[in-house]
Structure formats: structure tokens, C-alpha cells
Amino acid sequence: MSGRAAYIADLAFPDVLHVSILRSPFAHARITAIDVSAARAHGGVVQVWTGADVLPRCGGVMARMELPGFVPTVQPILAHDIVRFVGEAVAVVVATSQAAAEDALELIDVDYDELPVVADIASAVAAEVIANEAVPANLVYRGHRCQDDVDNDFARAACVAQGRFSNNRVSATPMEPRGCIASHEWTSGQLTVWSATQMPSFLKTMLAIHLAFPEQRIEVITPQVGGGFGQKAHVHPEEILVCLLAIELGRPIRWIEDRRENLLSATHAKHQINEMAIAVDADGRFLAMRNRSSTDGGAYNSLPWTHLVESHVGASTLTGPYRIANFNDESLSLVTNKCPIGAYRGVGWSAGHIARETLIDRAGRELGLSPFEIRRRNLVDQSDYPFTTPTGLVIREGTFVQTLDRLEQMVDYRSFRERQTAALAKGKLLGLGLCVFNEVSGVGTRALSFLHTPVTTHDTATVRVEPTGKITVTTPLVAAGQGHLTTFAQVAADAFGVPLDDVTVLAGTTRNAHGFGTVASRGAVFGAGTIGRAAEAVKVKIRQLAAHLLQTGAERITLSEGRVHVTGSPEQGMPLADLAGAAYFADATHPPEFDPALEATAAFDPADVVLANGGHAAIVEIDLETCLVRVDQMFAVEDCGKMINPMIVEGQIRGGIAQAIGMTLLEELVHDGEGQLVTTTLMDYLLPTSVDVPDVQIAHLETPSDLVPGGVKGMGESAMISAPAAIIGAVNDALALVGASVESFPASPQRIFDALQRASKVDAVPAL
């Protein structure tokens, strides 16, 4: 660590102009007049634009899904006529300093006529008020993944567990907020954009389309990114605005938002309500599941994920790794006068998993089965493969029962229940929660289509053996903290049998290669896939040349320990550097028709869904005095196939668990009835800190994928898919001791207090 990392805010350009964006103070209003004359006259101001200036240059960000009945929306780059959420961009000032831009912003005078506001899911469904007139009845999409008849199952069930789970709206809150710099060279016609994005190639193509600009003259450069977590996996209107200004003014334009803007107007996430029920027979076997979920999607569809990223995508894996024969679901994606909903680690899966696992525990309690036993009776196992879930996911492999067994040992279940009883006598509520999950990882074309997100994707990578035998890899995958430079170098080093230091990975510019982005836990799968395939293609030539020089067959050549040699006899061969030198400089050594380019570009897109799996367990304690929940212990079992780098995998697990603690216990973007965001600072929006996160015990299982070179599966989102459910399960296990439960999140002290007020078994605890 040298401390020399350069983020957007660190990039220095001579002649750069700074941008400040005026944002709507109202959730829904008509703009009747804007006066920018005082701002234009302010010292240092170079340009002021409103929606009327931008509209002829770009009609807005259009997001759609090619699904029948889907209602697309267009989010203007700067609002014109109407604003639809608090924080929507209304005007922009460009000035020679950030201070001048911000001062001038205060001089802009906007007249608004307030309109009625759709502030929550209930009023969106009622549709007496319309949040965005492009969307009739406030409904972007009504999805049904499964329409099985479940009435009979519910009628004959020995136990029906049901609930209505309200998830909180949260923000991915990357440490570095959104930002970009655009520079347009009028001499060359080149547009260069430095953006803290997770999807550089996608951004390049979208800029070409939205700016009507020649794509071959656009380069997107991604410097260090201070966390993305899905929030930077979108094309944000501000990025288009900054490019338009750079083209117009011929000077580099820099935009970096502050924390308040980030909380107001970067995408929000996870805001859905799940009304779920599970029918269980007397033996504890699941018969059917029913779910109706509604997403509070905000005023516009985000590009590219749209409102469907929440409950609609969530529905696709809602039955998880359980043998549930019949499933009936409906998901409503609704517009409201709020900031658009977007991707955030674990996307639509987090909320549904909380509901499902809480209900499984509830059924277990009713039937007298331990949380491990009821899951064990229902998990898909070896003998079921291939198992097709009601939503059409084919489970070919996985270690669900092993995961559960492992968690049971790690938790030491028997002794936990003893501790729980002893604690109760002292007035303390301890609880244990579990979740076992599937992760649709390494998302490519097949997985996107399974998730009803009809987009096709592939990535490419280039591998070159340099004349001195060193290796250069170029990849389109950028890291926001996932450590790709290390793991991708490992992939190439292993492929060529050379030390890690001999490999350099070039990432961070769209000049390198094409790819969809670092999203949907696809880095490991696409990195291993593209680099693995490109390396194989180069190795074919290396083997061909070596076989010629060593007078043997190409199939008998091995690369290991920096040498190219006859398999089984390392001394019969040469250093890779010598072979590379021969390829580049010694034409006379080449076999006939030899192509000496020790370089290959390969594409990869897995032939099917790459399904990873695992589970989490949480032990929490509720303090009856303060109603605070403390997470005492966390356990994770991860099966992401072959691990490239266990330390990085464990880092991903720990980071995701920290976010899960934030999502379930602390974080909430609170809006008032007028759609005003109340939590606009990190004093109000509570992020977890190190004192909230316990040490995490981690175990690994490794079921290699035969769909991906190297057998890897992805895992970057796993902890945010499943740990929230384990934590809420633990809170509800503790509350069950006194006959209480929470179904609204986060499980804040107020909500715990309210739950305890409603408790039916108060005499169970001396302190209550």
C-alpha cells in the first residue's frame, strides 16, 4: 500500500471546469419558471443550463425491458416541466471553481407548483395519484414467475406460516460517491470519460447512443473506484450531462457529488414488501409457497436494471434450494415519487430471503422441529439432482445439506439452546437465525434470461506472452475493491506456470477489451473464462513451437515453474522466456506455417446458469433495557466452486456481512408523507462500524463448476443474499421467547420496543 491510489476526485486537469447541480426540493411539482440570470452573471460562471437547454441535445435516459406489458420510462437529464422526486436534477452551473459553481447555484430562482405525491406503495397501488404520467396506474410491470395452483396444498397443510414483511429502503453508500470527468478534444474528436463506474464498456455504448456520438471515438477510463456495490452499475443521467457540457464547452468538466447528493439521488435499493405464506405438512415438509411482493421503485426505471431488479428478479429464486413443488407469486413494480431504485449487492434477493427463512423458522417452532431439522427435511440433496425449481432453475449440483451440517457444528446448536435458556433466566434474549441459499452467479446471457432480464452479454480478454516471457493480460473488468488485479494475475500465472510477479493485468480502459461490467458476481467467472480461454489459445502455439524444437508431440508439452518442457521431465525443455524469444526473434526455429503471435483474445459467456451456494448463521442478543440488537457471532459456509484466492473470498464474505448488519439493524432511508428524504447525512442514515461487526467464522466447500474454466463460481453478493435473513431470523428467534416478532425493518430499537409491547409471553422473562 503506497497511498498513491487515484480516485476521481484526485485527478488533476489544467483548465478543468467544475459542476454543481441544482436538485428539486419537491417530490412532485410543475416547474412554472426558472430564472438563471443572476447565476449566469456570478463571477467564475461559464455556463448555466436548465432542462430546456439539454432537451434538444438529449431526450433523457430511457430504460426498458423487452417483456410484454413492461412500461418504459424516460428520465430527463435535467427536469423540464415536472420534477418527480426530491433530488432530481433541475439545473447545472459550470464554473472555474467548485465554490463559484455552488455559490451561483443559490442564485437560481425556480417557481414550482406542487403536485400531489405518491409517497409509498399503498398510494401507488391505489393509483388515485399518478407519480409519473408515462406509467398508467403507477405500474411498471406485473410479474408472475409461477402460477401453480397452491390452494389444495394450503387447505391440507398441518401448518401455515405467513407474514407481511416490509423492507427498508437503503443505499449502497459507497465510500466514494459518484463522479466523472469528461474531456472532448475537438481536434481529434475524441471524448474521454473518467468515471467511477462498474460498467465501463456499457457506459461507452450508452454514451454513444444517448449523445449520438461515434462510439469508436469514446474511451471510458476507470481509475480507482472507492466501492460500487451495485450503485455504480448504472448509467446515471449526470454522466451524460457532464459529457454534453464537455462537448459544448471544449474544456474538461468535473463532477463529483457530495454525500447528501449521493443519499438523495444516487439509486436507492431493496424497498419491497413481501406477503408470503408457506404450507407445511405434519412431517415438516414444505408443500407450497405463495408470495405477493411490491417494489417501491421510485419515479423512473434505472438504466439498465429497471424496477425489475427488486421483487421481480427476487421471485426467480424465492423457493431457494428447497424442495417446494408448488409456487404461486405475483410481483408488482410500482412507480412512486422517490429516487429510482437500482442494483445493490444481493439485489432483489435479500428481502425475499428474509421473509422465507423467517417463515421456515416459524413453522419449525410450531411443529417442534429445530431450525436445522426443518431445513434438512426440505433441502435438495444429491439424490434429487438435477432438480428443477418451480421457477425453472435447474440445480445440477450443490452442497446444501453439507452446508447445513457444517453450520450446525460451527454454531454448536445444542449448547446454544442451553446458553439461550440460561440467558433468559437472567433477562437476556438470545436468538439464532439461519439461511441456506443459491446464488445465481457469474451472470451471463443464460442467467439474465432466467432472471427475465433479456440482455445478452459476453466479455473478452487478451493474453500476450511478451518477448521476455512476461505476461500481459487485458480485461474489461474493473474492480471497486474486489481485488481483480490479484486474482486475474493468479489465473494467468497458473495457466502458464509462471510466478505471479511475471503477470501484469491491465484493466480500467475500454480500449482494452469489451465486457458487461463488474456486476452480478461475474468477475471471477468471466475473468477465469476469458483469461483461461485466451491463455489456452496462446499455449497451443507455445506447445507447437516447443514440440518442434524438442522433437516431440505437442500433447507431450507442459508449462510449469517458468519452463516449457516434456511432460514428466522438466530438464528436457527451456525457460518460457527462451521460447518466447524464439517465437519473436528466431524465425529459423519456427515450424512450417507457424503463426508467431503469442497473443490471443477470447470471449466467454457460460453455457448455463453458474449456481453457487452456501449458508449463514447469526447469533444475536437483544438488550431489554435499550432494545438494541447486538450481533454476537456470525458463521458463513461458502461453496463458490474452486476458489482462486481464499483470502479475497473471505474478505468478500466479511464485507457483505457488515452490509447485512447495516441493512437489517441500522440503515433506513426515511421519507415523510410528502416524499421528503429525512435521512440526508450519515448522522441520520446509520452505517455499521467495526464495533457492530463481530468476527466471522468461515468454512469452505468446493464443488467445481464444469461450465467455467478452472471450475470457479461467483460469490461477491452471497453474504448480502443470505446473511440478512440469518440476522433477522436470529432477532425473531430471540423475540419468540416472549411471543413477539418483527416484520418491519430495520429491527431498530423502536421496532424492537414496539414488538416487546405486543409480546404475548411477557412472564417468560423476569426483566420484562
Footprint of ligand SMO on this chain (CB under 6 A)? Answer: 198, 230, 233, 343-345, 347, 519-520, 717
Comparison of 27 and 269: residue with beta carbon closer to ligand SMO: 269
**Residue 232: CB minimum distance to ligand SMO, A:** 8
Comparison of 63 and 77: residue with beta carbon closer to ligand SMO: 63
**Residue 542: CB minimum distance to ligand MCN, A:** 25
**Residue 113: CB minimum distance to ligand SMO, A:** 37
Comparison of 469 and 529: residue with beta carbon closer to ligand SMO: 529
- Beta carbons within 10 angstroms of residue 455's beta carbon: 16
230 binds ligand MCN (CB under 6 A): yes
Q: Residue 555 is placed in which grid cell?
A: 500433447
Comparison of 174 and 398: residue with beta carbon closer to ligand SMO: 174
Strands 563-566 and 326-334: unpaired
CA-nearest of 162, 181, 246, 137 to 9 is 181
Rounded to whole angstroms, the Cα distance separating 479 from 222 reads: 9
Concatenating the DSSP letter of every residue in 505-548 gives: EE-SBTTT-----S-TT-HHHHHHHHHHHHHHHHHHHHHHHHHH
Rounded to whole angstroms, the Cα distance separating 208 from 205 reads: 5
**Widest Cα–Cα separation across the chain:** 92
**Residue 98: CB minimum distance to ligand SMO, A:** 29
Q: Residue 756 is placed in which grid cell?
A: 416487546
Partner touching 640 among ligand MCN, ligand SMO, none, CB below 5 to 8 Å by kind: ligand MCN
**Residue 443: CB minimum distance to ligand SMO, A:** 8
What angle (nearest 5°) sits at the alpha carbon of residue 753, between those of residues 751 and 756? 110
Q: Is 144 helix (H, G, I), strand (E, B) or coil?
A: coil
Give residue 575's identity as a one-letter amino acid code.
Answer: P
CA-nearest of 321, 341, 343, 344 to 268 is 341
Q: What's CA 245's distance to the chain center, in Å? A: 30
**Residue 448: CB minimum distance to ligand MCN, A:** 13
Rounded to whole angstroms, the Cα distance separating 703 from 176 reads: 36
Q: 508449462: which residue's cell?
A: 559
Concatenating the DSSP letter of every residue in 684-740 gives: TS----GGG---EEEEE-----TTSGGGB---TTHHHHHHHHHHHHHHHHHHHTTT-
Binding-site member from 714, 724, 729, 746 for ligand MCN (CB under 6 A): 714
266 binds ligand MCN (CB under 6 A): no
Partner touching 712 among ligand MCN, ligand SMO, none, CB below 5 to 8 Å by kind: ligand MCN
- Restricted to residues 618-647, the positions that interact with ligand MCN (CB under 6 A) are 640-645
Comparison of 143 and 174: residue with beta carbon closer to ligand MCN: 174
Comparison of 376 and 522: residue with beta carbon closer to ligand SMO: 522
- Restricted to residues 473-502, the positions that interact with ligand MCN (CB under 6 A) are 480-484, 487
Helices (H) and strands (E) in the chain, counts: 20, 30
Cβ(677)–Cβ(615) under 8 Å? no
229 binds ligand MCN (CB under 6 A): yes
CA-nearest of 691, 373, 371, 346 to 521 is 346
> Rounded to 5 degrees, what are φ and ψ at 572?
-85, 80
- Restricted to residues 205-224, the positions that interact with ligand MCN (CB under 6 A) are none
**Residue 719: CB minimum distance to ligand SMO, A:** 12
Chain residue at closest Cβ approach to ligand SMO: 230
270 binds ligand MCN (CB under 6 A): no
Binding-site member from 272, 521, 613, 664 for ligand MCN (CB under 6 A): 521
Partner touching 662 among ligand SMO, ligand MCN, none, CB below 5 to 8 Å by kind: none
Partner touching 347 among ligand MCN, ligand SMO, none, CB below 5 to 8 Å by kind: ligand SMO
Partner touching 630 among ligand MCN, ligand SMO, none, CB below 5 to 8 Å by kind: none
Residue 22 half-sphere exposure toward CB, CA atoms < 13 A:
27
Partner touching 480 among ligand MCN, ligand SMO, none, CB below 5 to 8 Å by kind: ligand MCN
Contacts of 199 (CB under 8 A, 6+ apart): 232, 233, 234, 235, 516, 517, 518, 519
Binding-site member from 117, 429, 653, 715 for ligand MCN (CB under 6 A): 715
- Beta carbons within 10 angstroms of residue 720's beta carbon: 26
Binding mask 383-422 for ligand MCN (x = CB under 6 A): ----------------------------------------
530 binds ligand MCN (CB under 6 A): no
Number of residues that bind ligand MCN (CB under 6 A): 35
List contacts with ligand MCN (CB under 6 A). Answer: 227-230, 345, 480-484, 487, 518-525, 640-645, 648-649, 652, 655, 712-717
